[in-house]
C-alpha cells in the first residue's frame, strides 16, 4: 500500500513547556532528504546566524535521516545542529547507536527553543510526551544518567544526554547516547546544557511506513549480507576503526602535536592490542554488519574500567600519538572518562597535546598547571584531562578549545594551534594527502574528515570513480601535490557526504562497503524509492548534497566566514623532518582556486546568485 512520506517534527519551548507538531511535507523531503538538510533549512529561515551561540534564542535541532530506523543496514544515525559555541559558526554532530532509530519511529526531529528555568528532560513514549523534572539527574555523569532513566522508565527507552561538561557549558561538550556513542564535535552538549536540558528518553512501538515495504526489506536484506561478507567487515570485527598501525604506514597519523613524521611506539596502541588486552565483546549499532564498536574492560592497574566503550581510532591518536602516549590502558580510560563527563575526545585530546607543547615552550609552567606536563606521561595526561572535564584550574582556560585558549595564554601560543575555523583538526595528516587539506579548509563545521571522502579516495579505502567520475586511488607521490584536478573530487565527495548524512546511514556503507554500491549505486536509489515513492537520478541525488552544502556555506558567510578562513593551519605548512613525507610543504592554493570555480562561488568564497538559482535556494 502506498504511503505518502512525510516527516513530523516536535518543537519544544523550554521556557513555557509548550509543544507543537509540524509536518515536513514530501516536497521538502525531495528537496533536502532529511537530517542536517532539514536542520540547516530551519536555522537559515530563523536567521540563527544573527544570534550568539549561548543565547536562549539559539535552538538545538535534533534530526533523523531519511533512512534512519528503517530496515536499511547501518541506519541508526541522527544529527544535532545549532550555532556552535566553539567555532561561532554552523555547528553539527552526528551519532549512531540506537537512539536515532527509536526517535525516527515517532518523530523525524526535535527542535528545542528558549531555556528551562530548572533542569528538565524530554520524555517520549509514542504519542505521549512531556518535559519532566531532571533536578535529581543534574550533576550525574552520562552513564549514570542513562542507567537512572532506564531504571525508572524501562530498559527499552533509548537516552541521549549530557554530562557535567555540558551542564557547565564547556565548548568541548558532547551529547552521549547508548553508553558511548557521541555527538562529539562543535560543542552541541554545551548548547544542550545552556538550555538546562539534561536528557531525552524515547520509546516507540510504531512502525516505519514504506512505499513498497516488501521490496525495501528484500533489498536491505541483500545489502546487509553483502556488507557482512565484505573484507572491511572482517577488519572491523578484528580491530574496529583503530587501524593506526596501517595509517602509520601511509604517513596519515599525527605525532607530538603534529611535529613528528613517525613514532616507533605506534604498534603499542593498535587495534590488535586493544583486542588482545581488554576486549569484552563487539558492540554494533542499529542493524550494523560491520560492528566497529566494542566493549572493553580493564581489571587491574591504575586505569581500571568496568565494561565501557572501546576507543576509536580518532581517540587513540588524539590521546596516544599526539601526546606520545603509548599506554593503551590509559587511552581506554581517557575515552571512558570523556564519555562519562560528556566531552569530545578529538578536541580534548588535541587540547591536551597543545597544552604539552605550551609547557615544553615555557608558555605554561608547573605553577600554572599544578604538575609537570611531559610527552608520553599517561598520569599527567589523565590529570590534565580531568581538569578540562571538570573546568577546574588550568582546565578553565583549556576547556574553551585551543583557539580561545591560545588567545588567553598569549606568549606565542597561537603558533602551536592546529585548527580550522576554530575546530581542532582530526587525526589524519594532510601533509600526506594535500586534497584532504583542501577538504579540511573548506568543510562547513571546521576541519573534518567526516564531511567528505578525501581521506578515503586518496588512501585506497573508497573508489567512487564508476558512478561519480572521481579519482581512483592516488599514489603517495601524487597525493602530495597541489593538483587543481583534485578540487572536483573533493567537492563531489563533500556533496556525497551530505547525502550520506541526510539519509542517516553510516559512511561505511559508502566507503568501506563501496565495492557493493560502486558496482550498482542504483541500489541506493531503489531503496529511497521503495521507502518514499520518490525517484531520483544519481545526478539529482548529488544535487541535493550540493544544495545542503551550499546552504551551510550561506549560514557561515552570514556569520562572517570568507576566503581567509578557508585555510591550512600554519603549523601544518611546516614540513616534517623525517618519515614518508619528509620535507613536503603542504599547499592548497591551486586547488582552492579551482574549487571555488567548480563550486560556482566568487573569489571571496561566497556562492554566486547564479549558483543559488541553479540549486533553487535563492530565497534563503
Could you tell me if residue 17 is inside a domain? yes
Number of H helices, E strands in the chain: 27, 17
Output DSSP code: residue 573. Answer: G
**Residue 217 belongs to a domain:** no
Which among 373, 393, 415 is the end of a domain? 415
The CATH number assigned to the domain holding 12 equals 3.60.9.10
Smallest Cα–Cα separation from 522: which of 470, 578, 466?
A: 466
Residue 157, pLDDT > 90, answer yes
DSSP 165-196: HHHTT-TTB-EEETTTEEE-GGGHHHHHHHTT
Q: Flag whether 379 is in a domain.
A: yes
Position 513 scores a pLDDT of 54
Please check whether residues 601 and 562 belong to one and the same domain.
yes
How large a percentage of the chain has pLDDT more than 90?
Answer: 91
Residue 490 sits in the same domain as residue 371: no
Question: Are residues 489 and 581 both part of a single domain?
Answer: yes
Model pLDDT, residue 3:
47
- Assign residue 496 the CATH number of its domain: 1.10.599.10
Pair 156, 26 in one domain: yes
Could you give the CA distance from residue 605 to residue 563 in angstroms, rounded to a whole number?
5
Res 2 pLDDT > 50: no
The mean predicted confidence, pLDDT, of the chain is: 95
Is there a domain that residue 209 lies in? no
Say yes or no: 333 and 369 in one domain.
yes
Q: Are 35 and 504 in contact (CB under 8 A)?
A: yes
Asked if pLDDT for residue 514 goes beyond 70, the answer is no
Q: In terms of pTM, does the model score above 0.95?
A: yes
Residues 464 and 563 in one domain: yes
- Residue 116 confidence (pLDDT) above 60: yes
Quick one: which H or E segment has residue 129?
strand 128-133
452 and 489 housed in the same domain: yes
Task: Quote the crossing angle between the two packed helices 589-599 and 486-503, to the nearest 10°.
Answer: 60
Residue of 468 and 253 predicted with greater confidence: 253
Beta-strand runs (E) in 454-523: none
Split into its structural domains, the chain has a count of: 3
Asked whether residue 595 falls in the same domain as residue 496, the answer is yes
Closest listed residue to residue 27, CA positions, set 36, 35, 11, 38: 38
Domain containing 328 — which CATH number?
1.10.569.10
Among residues 388, 390, 330, 333, the alpha carbon closest in space to that of 356 is found at: 388
On whether the CB atoms of residues 529 and 67 are closer than 8 A, the answer is: no
Q: Among 415, 447, 477, where does a domain finish?
A: 415
Q: Do the Cβ atoms of 401 and 85 come closer than 8 Å?
A: no
- pLDDT of 474 reads 79
DSSP class per residue in 487-500 = HHHHHHHHHHHHHH
Q: Is 409 part of any domain?
A: yes
**Residue 520 falls within a domain, yes or no?**
no
Residues 436 and 500 in one domain: yes
Domain for residue 570, yes or no?
yes
**How does pLDDT run across 64-102, given as a tens digit for each residue?**
999 999 999 999 999 999 999 999 999 999 999 999 999
Per-residue pLDDT tens for 328-380? Answer: 999 999 999 999 999 999 999 999 999 999 999 999 999 999 999 999 999 99
Q: Are residues 496 and 586 in the same domain?
A: yes
Domain finish residue from 359, 391, 415: 415
Asked if 23 and 171 sit in the same domain, the reply is yes
One domain, residues 163 and 272: no
Q: Supply the range of the domain harboring residue 272.
A: 255-415
228 is a domain residue? no
d(CA 492, CA 429): 21
Angstrom distance (rounded) from CA 328 to CA 221: 37
pLDDT in tens, 199-221: 999 999 999 999 999 999 999 99
Amino acid at each position: 500500500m502506498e504511503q505518502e512520506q512525510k516527516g513530523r517534527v516536535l518543537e519544544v519551548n523550554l521556557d513555557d513547556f509548550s509543544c507543537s507538531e509540524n509536518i515536513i511535507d514530501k516536497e521538502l523531503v525531495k528537496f533536502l532528504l532529511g537530517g542536517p538538510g532539514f536542520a540547516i533549512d530551519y536555522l537559515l529561515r530563523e536567521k540563527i546566524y544573527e544570534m550568539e551561540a549561548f543565547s536562549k534564542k539559539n535552538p538545538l535541532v535534533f534530526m533523523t535521516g531519511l533512512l534512519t530506523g528503517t530496515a536499511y543496514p547501518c541506519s541508526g544515525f541522527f544529527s544535532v545542529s545549532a550555532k556552535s559555541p566553539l567555532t561561532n559558526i554552523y555547528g553539527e554532530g552526528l551519532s549512531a547507536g540506537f537512539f536515532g532509530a527509536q526517535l525516527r519511529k515517532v518523530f523525524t526531529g526535535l527542535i528545542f527553543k528558549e531555556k528551562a528555568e530548572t533542569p528538565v528532560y524530554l520524555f517520549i513514549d509514542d504519542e505521549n510526551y512531556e518535559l519532566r523534572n531532571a533536578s535529581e539527574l543534574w550533576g550525574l555523569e552520562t552513564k549514570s544518567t542513562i542507567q537512572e532513566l532506564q531504571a525508572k522508565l524501562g530498559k527499552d527507552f533509548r537516552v541521549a544526554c549530557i554530562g557535567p561538561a555540558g551542564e557547565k557549558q564547556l565548548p568541548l561538550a558532547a551529547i552521549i547516547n547508548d553508553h558511548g556513542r557521541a555527538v562529539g564535535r562543535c560543542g552541541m552538549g554545551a548548547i544542550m546544557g545552556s538550555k538546562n536540558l539534561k536528557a531525552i528518553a524515547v520509546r516507540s512501538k510504531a512502525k516505519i511506513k514504506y512505499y513498497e515495504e516488501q521490496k525495501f526489506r528484500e533489498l536491505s536484506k541483500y545489502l546487509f549480507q553483502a556488507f557482512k561478507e565484505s573484507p572491511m567487515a572482517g577488519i572491523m570485527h578484528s580491530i574496529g576503526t583503530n587501524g593506526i598501525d596501517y595509517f602509520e604506514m601511509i604517513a596519515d597519523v599525527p605525532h607530538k602535536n603534529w611535529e613528528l613524521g613517525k613514532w616507533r611506539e605506534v604498534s603499542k596502541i593498535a587495534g590488535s592490542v586493544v583486542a588482545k588486552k581488554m576486549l569484552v565483546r563487539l558492540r554494533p549499532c542499529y542493524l550494523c554488519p560491520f560492528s566497529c564498536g566494542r566493549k572493553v574492560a580493564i581489571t587491574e592497574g591504575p586505569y581500571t574500567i568496568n565494561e565501557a566503550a572501546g576507543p576509536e581510532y580518532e581517540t587513540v591518536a588524539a590521546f596516544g600519538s599526539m601526546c606520545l602516549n603509548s599506554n593503551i590502558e590509559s587511552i581506554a580510560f581517557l575515552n571512558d572518562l570523556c564519555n562519562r563527563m560528556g566531552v569530545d575526545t578529538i578536541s580534548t585530546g588535541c587540547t591536551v597535546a597543545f597544552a604539552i607543547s605550551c609547557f615544553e615552550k615555557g608558555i605554561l609552567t608547573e605553577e600554572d598547571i599544578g604538575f609537570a606536563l611531559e610527552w608520553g606521561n599517561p598520569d599527567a595526561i589523565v590529570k590534565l584531562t580531568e581538569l578540562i572535564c571538570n573546568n577546574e584550574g588550568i582546565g578553565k582556560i583549556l576547556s574553551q578549545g585551543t583557539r580561545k585558549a591560545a588567545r588567553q595564554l598569549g606568549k606565542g601560543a597561537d603558533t602551536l594551534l592546529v585548527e580550522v575555523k576554530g575546530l581542532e583538526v582530526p587525526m589524519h595528516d594532510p601533509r600526506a594527502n594535500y586534497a584532504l587539506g583542501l577538504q579540511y579548509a573548506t568543510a562547513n563545521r571546521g576541519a573534518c574528515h567526516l564531511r567528505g571522502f578525501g581521506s578515503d579516495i586518496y588512501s585506497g579505502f573508497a573508489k567512487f570513480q564508476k558512478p561519480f567520475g572521481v579519482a581512483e586511488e592516488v599514489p603517495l607521490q601524487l597525493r602530495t601535490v597541489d593538483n587543481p584536478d583534485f578540487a572536483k573530487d573533493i567537492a563531489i565527495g563533500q556533496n556525497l557526504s551530505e547525502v550520506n548524512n541526510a539519509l542517516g546511514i553510516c559512511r561505511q556503507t559508502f566507503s568501506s562497503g563501496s565495492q557493493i554500491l560502486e558496482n550498482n549505486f542504483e541500489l541506493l536509489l531503489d531503496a529511497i524509492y521503495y521507502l518514499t515513492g520518490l525517484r531520483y537520478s544519481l545526478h539529482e541525488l548529488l544535487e541535493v548534497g550540493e544544495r545542503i552544502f551550499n546552504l551551510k556555506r550561506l549560514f557561515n558567510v552570514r556569520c562572517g566566514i570568507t576566503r581567509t578562513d578557508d585555510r591550512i593551519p600554519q603549523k601544518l605548512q611546516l614540513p616534517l623532518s623525517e618519515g614518508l613525507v619528509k620535507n613536503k610543504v603542504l599547499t592548497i592554493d591551486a586547488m582552492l582556486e579551482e574549487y571555488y570555480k567548480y563550486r560556482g562561488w566568487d573569489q571571496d568564497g561566497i556562492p554566486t546568485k547564479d549558483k543559488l538559482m541553479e540549486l533553487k535556494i535563492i530565497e534563503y
